[in-house]
Amino acid sequence: MVEIADIRDEESLKAWLEDKPRELAVLLAHRAAARVMPIYWSWVADPSNEGELTDIIAWRILPTTRAFAMFAILDVATTVDTSELRPQYPVSRAITAAAIAALAATTIANATIAATAVATAAAVVPAPDFWDEVRRDATNYLDTNIRAPLSLWHNGIPPEITGAWEAAALSRLIEAGDTGWQFWIEWYEAQLSGADQNWEMLKEIVLIPDEDWKQGAAHVNSLIAETVTNATNGPI
């Protein structure tokens, strides 16, 4: 039997997850993809890549997988189209696998796909303690409320992630007057620090109709801004 202390790679994580709730598997996949998201966002933020649609799809997946772990909103997970993500990039594959894990029909399939998502993300940043973070997630979320706030990086954010996030966040702040990226910046920074979340507001954002998401970042971000404005006072 695989124990949390034995989780060191894709196979050991898969074995550990096989008898665990699927929500836990999706949550671990979500957090692994979230750790390396700044690298993807900094790439898409480069105007030469013309990736705005891809950008909002990737960001949609993160709260969707988190909401699935929280609320098991399977019908929403099925609407997320990952075909626009660039499969040649490991971060894209990690994000896609996190989304697919929520749709797995069996516990074993769920464990397999979630473990692939985590391992793919781990390969993006050669941080020796990436699997320490995974074991920490497993320990905390197996024994505590799945809503418990927990920072993405317990042992310090790798410089590659910090640099990518600062560059991407700055570029979006400059554009914020047009596409309203403030929510995403603040939400991701809350993920990084482990700040508490306004879960009901997140659920409302995830439930924005699919046809609105398909209209691109400017449109859906304006709807999110309205949701944030109308939400009761509380953390993002």
Q: What is the pLDDT of residues 182-217, one digit of tens each?
A: 888 889 999 999 998 888 898 889 889 888 988 888
Q: Is residue 48 part of a domain?
A: yes
Q: What token pair was written down for 162?
A: 């910090």
How many structural domains are present in the chain?
Answer: 1
pLDDT digits (tens, 9 = 90+) for 27-74: 999 899 899 888 887 777 666 665 554 567 778 888 888 877 777 655
- Residue-number span of the structural domain to which 37 is assigned: 4-230
DSSP per residue, 197-221: --HHHHHHHHTS-HHHHTT-HHHHH
Q: Is residue 225 part of a domain?
A: yes
Q: Is residue 9 part of a domain?
A: yes
Between the alpha carbon of residue 144 and those of residues 38, 55, 135, the distances in Å are 28, 32, 14
Q: Is residue 236 part of a domain?
A: no
What is the model's pTM?
A: 0.86
Q: Is residue 235 part of a domain?
A: no
